Amino acid sequence: MNWTSPRFYVPALFLLALGLLPVYAMVASQPFYVTLFSRIMIFALAALGLNFILGYAGLVSFGHALYLGVGAYAVGILSFHGVGNGWLQLLAALVVGGLLALLIGAVVLRTSGMTFIMITLAFAQMGYFLVVSLKAYGGDDGLSIEQRSAFGLFDLNNHTVLYYAILFCLVAALWLFSRMVESRFGMVLRGVKSNERRMLALGFPTFRYKLVGYVVSAQVCVVAGFLLANLTKFASPSYMVWQVSGDLIVMAVLGGMGTLFGPVVGAVIFLMVEEVLSSVKPGWFPQIEEVLNRHWLALMGIFVIAIVLGFRKGIYGYVVEKSSKEAKA
Amino acid sequence: MPIELLFVQLLNGLQYGVLLFLLAAGLTLVFGIMNFVNLAHGSLYMMGAYFAAWAYNNPIFGIQSSFILAAIVGVLGSMVLGVLIERLVLFSLYDRDHLDQVLATFGLILVFNEVARFIWGPSSYYMEVPEQLSGTIKLFGIDYPSYRFMIIAVGLLVALGTYLLIQKTRIGMLIRAGASNATMVGALGINIKLLNTLLFGLGAGLAGVAGLMAGPILSVQPGMGEPILIVTLVVIVTGGIGSIRGAFFAALIVGVIDTIGRVFLPLLLANLVEKSLAQAAGPAIASMLIYLLMAGVLAFKPQGLFPVKHG
């Protein structure tokens, strides 16, 4: 491991900062930061999961919000029926999410390109309408969760414990993906991205590899949804709305698609921008300020367009590439 | 099961299908030629509805509540808007991959929704059914709202017009040639960029027509374009991307299945299973029907019902 490479020190600094944040929040008596960054890390986890197939296998899934919803509703529905055990809830979420991803993956991976994008979007939308029509579980209004998942040893009702549980999941996912992309399996997926026909000619059953990749990526999002429901104590159809799938892609692209740590950087920046834009007080003219705060989504849209048109490699992707060029020179 | 109800719902399904076709036609044609997908197509539909409703509710040159005027403003407005965004933003995305196109047009949707919210406010904006069309019409002995009947008629006429334009005119010939090999058409001296801008304007105009006609029966509000856009994507994927014929048949099939499913599936289930379960499961399954249809079609024909052969 090269200590001076940004590949090492950027993630290390980021994770260190995330690890120390609750301490800072306590000292500065700003408990709000713990909740904010819990949410940011959950989306970072989901973006990380998406990036595994988006960045490494070149599969543009516009429907990963579906799996966030599966994780959230597993907590919501089980606790509604009095099952509060976190391990059971997590198991149920992963089993349902896995089967669903297997089924959907088997259909969507038969297509490619534009059709793939649209059909993943359509499946996510199907899940959205399904929960909206489930009146027994709150339908449109969502389902509030009485009790956070009970894990016995540690208590998620303590915000700091929940924060570190989320951080642990994030680090675990980073470790998992860092091993996976270097493995034979990951190499095959990356081969599929650059030339699928050639991989087929080499004798790799690419469909199976893509399917496994799709399921793994979906499962990470299921875990993120599980954590999100625990953070908000709420399972809402709005987690599965199609803009969320779009946001996840933007996070991955903003940070740097196909880089290991990029999605985390992207999620942090994207959600910070969102936070700032929706509550900014520049102190110019009160009228402008009011318009800005009410219509900040428009600025978000312009921000997204600007990233796509002008900064395609992503922030972390740019830093890493620049340093590796300098190393070669 | 009363047969009249079935007939009325069939007509409603047809009317929904026709609206879907108006949206799908523009989307699928642009995709066919430029290999470009525009998620902001739903926003053009929304803006068309707003323009029309605005023109209907406010006096222009002293004329108020004129549906014809609303139609002109709505359709022209969305056409101009379509051409503008094509020239300003989208043309630079033609050479990019699909991911970039999807993201940039996703950004456009956010912008348009906020623009609509800024100008017309967050709540629904109403446009009433014009007086001449507010009655009912007798169809085979059944009363059917004449406005909805007009939607079907206008939609089918526009579909016929589009068909004639594509199959029988010189422009249509160029569009078809562009769909099978855009580079070759460009090499033969045709201004393919101009052709595409024209096509984009046409698609935006059709979206405007859909928005205009949907205005009085649905509520005109920010974000109204997205749900119908996603169903439109289902339509063009089911029909075969780039195929206008596929878009037409898939739109009608999707429209009818969705409408009939929502009405009759809960009734049907009530006969089979216990009432409480039927009430819960009926709407849930009905809302998933069209996606299941799409999945079924793609499982057997990944290219859609009417695949387009690219030369």
CA–CA gap between residue A151 and residue A138 (Å, rounded): 25
Among B104, B110, B234, the residue with its CB nearest the CB of A297 is B110
Give the model confidence (pLDDT) of A261-270 as tens digits. Answer: 889 988 998 8
B188 vs A286: which has the higher pLDDT: B188
Give the model confidence (pLDDT) of B22-68 as tens digits. Answer: 999 888 888 877 778 888 888 999 998 888 888 887 776 766 667 78
- Give the count of alpha carbons within 13 A of B246, CB side only: 26
Is B133 a residue whose pLDDT tops 50?
A: yes
B65 vs A139: which has the higher pLDDT: A139
The answer to whether B302 contacts A115, with C-beta atoms less than 8 Å apart, is: yes
Among A133, A298, A303, the residue with its CB nearest the CB of B115 is A298
CA–CA gap between residue B298 and residue B284 (Å, rounded): 22
pLDDT confidence of residue A284: 64
CA–CA gap between residue B154 and residue B158 (Å, rounded): 6
Positive/negative CA dihedral, A257, A120, B244, B146 = negative
Q: Which residues pair with A85 in a beta bridge?
A: A150
- Range B269-295 average pLDDT: 78
Q: What angle do CA A276, A278, A284 make, to 5 degrees?
A: 80
SS3 B53: helix
For chain B, strand residue ranges (E) read: 136-139, 142-145
Q: Over pLDDT 70: what percentage of chain A?
A: 95
SS3 B224: coil
Give the model confidence (pLDDT) of B10-22 as tens digits. Answer: 888 888 999 999 9
Confirm or reject contact between A115 and chain B (CB < 8 A).
yes
CA-nearest residue of chain A to B241? A115
Give the model confidence (pLDDT) of A174-216 as tens digits. Answer: 999 999 988 999 999 999 888 888 988 998 998 999 999 999 9
Tokens coding A46:
């989901």
Give the model confidence (pLDDT) of A83-105 as tens digits. Answer: 878 888 899 999 999 999 999 99
- Range B163-183 average pLDDT: 83
The answer to whether B284 contacts A130, with C-beta atoms less than 8 Å apart, is: yes
A325 vs A173: which has the higher pLDDT: A173
Residues 76-135 of chain B whose Cβ lies under 8 A from any Cβ of chain A: 89, 92-93, 96, 98-100, 102-104, 106-111, 113-115, 117-118
Query: A-chain residues within 8 Å CB-CB of B103?
Result: 246, 249-250, 253, 304, 307-308
CA-nearest residue of chain B to A58? B99
pLDDT confidence of residue A172: 94
pLDDT confidence of residue A99: 95
Average pLDDT, chain B: 83
Is A1 a residue whose pLDDT tops 60?
A: no
Among B35, B102, B118, the residue with its CB nearest the CB of A62 is B102
Continuous segment of H or E residues that includes residue B106: helix B98-120
- Range A117-136 average pLDDT: 86
pLDDT confidence of residue A313: 74
Is A286 a residue whose pLDDT tops 70?
A: no
Listed residue (B151, B104, B281) closest to A130, CA to CA? B281
> Mutate which of B91, B94, B123, B287 to test chain A, going by most A C-beta atoms within 10 A?
B287
Give the model confidence (pLDDT) of B63-95 as tens digits. Answer: 666 778 888 888 898 999 989 988 888 878 887
CA–CA gap between residue A100 and residue A94 (Å, rounded): 10
Give the model confidence (pLDDT) of B185-202 as tens digits. Answer: 888 888 888 888 888 888
Is B311 a residue whose pLDDT tops 50?
A: no
SS (H, E, C) A100-166: HHHHHHHHHCCCCHHHHHHHHHHHHHHHHHHHHHCHHHCHHHCEECCCCCECCCCECCCHHHHHHHH
Residue B168's Cβ-count burial label (10 Å; 0-12, 13-18, 19+) is exposed
Are residues A149 and A74 in contact, defined by beta-carbon separation less than 8 angstroms?
no
CA–CA gap between residue B43 and residue B55 (Å, rounded): 18
CA-nearest residue of chain A to B239? A115
Q: Can you give the C-alpha Rg of chain A in angstroms?
A: 20
Tokens coding A96:
């349902």
Q: Over pLDDT 70: what percentage of chain B?
A: 96
Is A131 a residue whose pLDDT tops 80?
A: yes
Complex ipTM more than 0.85, yes or no: no
DSSP string for residues in B197-251: HHHHHHHHHHHHHHHHHHTTTS-B-TTTHHHHHHHHHHHHHHH-TT-HHHHHHHH
The answer to whether B103 contacts A304, with C-beta atoms less than 8 Å apart, is: yes
Average pLDDT, chain A: 86
Is B143 a residue whose pLDDT tops 90?
A: no
The answer to whether B104 contacts A309, with C-beta atoms less than 8 Å apart, is: yes
> Worst-scoring range by mean pLDDT, A45-59, B253-267, B274-288?
B274-288
Q: Which of the given ranges, A19-23, A280-284, B156-160, B174-178, has the highest pLDDT on average?
A: B156-160
Among B98, B287, B298, the residue with its CB nearest the CB of A119 is B298
Q: Which of the given ranges, A27-31, A192-196, A314-318, B217-221, has the highest pLDDT on average?
A: A192-196
The answer to whether A297 contacts B113, with C-beta atoms less than 8 Å apart, is: yes
Residues 244-303 of chain B whose Cβ lies under 8 A from any Cβ of chain A: 280, 283-284, 286-288, 291-292, 294-295, 298-299, 302
CA distance A186 to chain B (A): 21
Are residues A43 and A224 in contact, defined by beta-carbon separation less than 8 angstroms?
yes
Confirm or reject contact between A293 and chain B (CB < 8 A).
no
What is the four-CA torsion angle of B147, B148, B149, B152, rounded to 10 degrees?
Answer: 120
Query: A-chain residues within 8 Å CB-CB of B291?
Result: 122-123, 125-126
B218 vs A120: which has the higher pLDDT: A120
Pairs of CB atoms within 8 A across A/B: 127
pLDDT confidence of residue B310: 52
Q: Is A134 left (phi over 0), alpha (psi -120 to 50) or beta?
A: beta
pLDDT confidence of residue B290: 87
Q: pTM of the entire structure?
A: 0.87
Confirm or reject contact between A227 and chain B (CB < 8 A).
no
> Mutate which of B90, B93, B101, B103 to test chain A, going by most A C-beta atoms within 10 A?
B103
- Number of neighbouring beta carbons within 10 Å of residue B190: 15
Q: Taking the domains of chain B in order of start, what are their residue ranges?
A: 3-222
- For chain B, the residue count is 311
- The residue whose two tokens read 């089924």 is A103
CA–CA gap between residue B112 and residue B102 (Å, rounded): 15
